[in-house]
Amino acid sequence: MEEEGEVEECKFRILMFPWLAHGHIFPFIELSKHLSRRSCFHVYFCSTAINLVSIRKHIRNEYPTIQLVELPMAASPELPPQFHTTKALPPRLWPNLLKAFQESSCSFQDILDSLKPDFLIYDFFQPWAPKIALSRGIDSAFFAASGAASYAFYYHMYMEGTSSTFPYPAIHLQDYEMIDFGFRKSIKDAEDNEFLFGNFALSRDVILMKSCRAVERKYIDYLSDICKKRVVITGPLIADANEAYPYDDEEMLAKIMEWLSGKSKRSTVYVSFGSEYFLSGDELGEIAKGLELCDANFLWVVRFPSEEKTGRIEEAMPKGFLDRVVERGMIVRGWAPQTKILAHRSIGSFMSHCGWSSVMESMYFGVPIIAMPMKSEQPANARLATEVGVGVEVGKSRDGRYTGEEMAKTISMVMAETPFCEDLRNRAIRVSKEMRENAEGEASRVAEELQTLCTNKKKKTTTTTTTTRRNHEYK
């Protein structure tokens, strides 16, 4: 246990249990903050020790009703404690991490028995968690950190078959995407079904989802209809870009902000492919070519697995590239403050892998998206951004590869001062305005929903206990 302390009896105790990826953890953190601002909740936040180090910086002393709880996970020579997170995890160790996480269920049982929470909010990769909770009389809800469009698409294919037609044709996969992302195999593999959609069945009454009706209204309604559960949206759950978190690398933060401030308004492309996807040498080369062929400034965040040595940027880039773009390009290794960057006046577009958190953040800050989906649900997210009118997807070659020429063409389309570009920006600004206006109300409705579920559970438990006692006394 990370921190001890008495919890007032009047508070409902909520246990947050996200998967070990930062793209999952941070929505859980922001939801925890919203709940902690209401006097009726005490939040326990459970993760591995390495993740708690960064989580603590975002919780700090401002949220005394959020209590951090360590999930013990067995270390091994192949998976030492610093790899008990997906951040910078070498791809070859991903199966090891997932296996170790599944084997932590006994530790999780101990946590439940110790804390005795009133309610569990769990994530995609641990369908065993709500089962354990239910065995102890604890209700739970699945919190989906991905959007409604992708979930509705995949759930439809699960129910109707991969040859069926999704009712909203804007969301689709190319044949090579279905193969590359293992979609057909996943749908047919019975062992995966519990991970894919068993989480929906295990969730009590509602599904919580990081989404906004301004963006995904029809997909939220359709998903609710086909999964037979109410989908309660949390809003975008974006961290305040102005909040003064104690960053690990304050010097780099200052350097990035100074560089951006030297660029004119909307002149710069922010390029990032998330914390878990590592570009191949060919992909790095094509992106470099695309950025060199266009005229825009760019801030490019390049990540390598943590086991690779520093200094790789110079080796990874095409010969002479860094010298040729020195006046208009900045390349950052490993980390960058994404919300601060997207909120900066000089950013005109976001070249993104279209992970859901990145898509939501880009929309929230009114930044048009240059979509380059790489895996998983990202193609559906990219097509949603295009349908909403805030993004343009980079075309691929016939064999499914991105080329520098196509990237440069799309960057120019999004960044050039043309009627198309102006319309794209205006739509992004409108979506941003609507998301911001509704964000607090959406998060408040989640809190009200959880309060109702916990209250009803307590009433039911009290009634059952009273009836049992009376029956015992009668006998």
pLDDT tens column, 133-177: 999 999 999 999 999 999 999 999 888 887 889 999 999 988 777
CA gap 344, 209 in Å, rounded: 28
In a domain, 393, yes or no: yes
Q: Are residues 227 and 254 in the same domain?
A: no
Q: What's residue 185's pLDDT?
A: 46
CA gap 276, 259 in Å, rounded: 26
Burial label for 264, CB within 10 Å (0-12, 13-18, 19+), is exposed
What integer is the mean pLDDT of 55-80?
A: 90
Q: Are residues 425 and 382 in the same domain?
A: yes
What sections of 116-189 are H helices per DSSP? 128-135, 148-160, 175-180, 183-188
Pairing between β-strand 206-209 and β-strand 230-233 as defined by DSSP bridges: parallel
In a domain, 5, yes or no: no
Out of 41-55, 111-125, 238-252, which region has the weakest mean confidence (pLDDT)? 238-252
pLDDT at 227 over 70: yes
Out of 2-6, 76-80, 122-126, which region has the weakest mean confidence (pLDDT)? 2-6
Q: What's residue 247's pLDDT?
A: 63
What integer is the mean pLDDT of 275-291?
A: 91
In a domain, 1, yes or no: no
CA dihedral 309, 313, 317, 321 (to 10 degrees): -150
CA gap 472, 475 in Å, rounded: 5
Bridge partners, 140 (sequence order)? 120
Q: Are residues 196 and 315 in the same domain?
A: no
Q: What's residue 470's pLDDT?
A: 47
For 6-30, b/e burial (b = at least 16 CB within 10 A) is eeeeebbbbbbbbbbbbbbbbbbbb
Q: What's residue 75's pLDDT?
A: 83
Q: What's residue 242's pLDDT?
A: 73
Q: Are residues 277 and 396 in the same domain?
A: yes
Q: What's residue 36's pLDDT?
A: 92
pLDDT at 474 over 80: no
Q: Are residues 330 and 188 in the same domain?
A: no
Q: What's residue 196's pLDDT?
A: 66
**H-helix or E-strand containing 401?**
none
Q: What's residue 8's pLDDT?
A: 56
Task: Grade residue 9 by pLDDT with cuts at 50, 70 and 90.
Answer: low
Residue 213 domain boundaries: 12-239+441-469
In a domain, 44, yes or no: yes
Full 3-state SS string of 202-250: HCCCEEEECCCHHHHHHHHHHHHHHHCCEEEECCCCCCCCCCCCCCCCH
| 81's tokens | 């404690």
Residue 432 near residue 366, CB atoms below 8 Å: yes
Range picked from 28-32, 334-338, 454-458, 460-464 for highest mean pLDDT: 28-32
Q: Are residues 216 and 302 in the same domain?
A: no
Q: Are residues 231 and 313 in the same domain?
A: no
118 is catalytic: no
Q: Are residues 181 and 262 in the same domain?
A: no
361 closest CA partner among 424, 431, 300, 438: 431
In a domain, 474, yes or no: no
Q: Are residues 346 and 275 in the same domain?
A: yes
Size of the chain, expressed as the number of residues it contains: 475
Q: Could you tell me the CA-to-CA distances from 266 to 262, 291, 344, 417 in Å, in that order?
A: 12, 16, 9, 10
Average pLDDT, the chain: 88
What integer is the mean pLDDT of 323-327?
A: 93
Task: Grade residue 186 by pLDDT with cuts at 50, 70 and 90.
Answer: very low
123 is catalytic: yes
CATH label of the domain that carries residue 359: 3.40.50.2000
CA dihedral 113, 119, 120, 121 (to 10 degrees): -160
Task: Grade residue 379 by pLDDT with cuts at 50, 70 and 90.
Answer: very high
pTM of the model: 0.90
Task: Grade residue 466 by pLDDT with cuts at 50, 70 and 90.
Answer: very low
In a domain, 27, yes or no: yes
Q: Are residues 16 and 157 in the same domain?
A: yes
In a domain, 234, yes or no: yes
**Which residue is catalytic, options 22, 24, 42, 58?**
24
What integer is the mean pLDDT of 449-462?
A: 84
Q: What's residue 351's pLDDT?
A: 98
What integer is the mean pLDDT of 4-17?
A: 75
Task: Say how many domains are in the chain.
Answer: 2
Residue 137 near residue 461, CB atoms below 8 Å: yes
Q: What's residue 80's pLDDT?
A: 92
In a domain, 6, yes or no: no
Residue 117 near residue 93, CB atoms below 8 Å: no
Q: Are residues 152 and 230 in the same domain?
A: yes
Q: What's residue 194's pLDDT?
A: 64
Out of 204-208, 230-234, 304-308, which region has the weakest mean confidence (pLDDT)? 304-308
Q: Are residues 226 and 259 in the same domain?
A: no
What integer is the mean pLDDT of 281-306?
A: 92
What percentage of the chain has pLDDT greater than the value 90?
Answer: 69
**Which residue is catalytic, options 34, 42, 123, 353?**
123
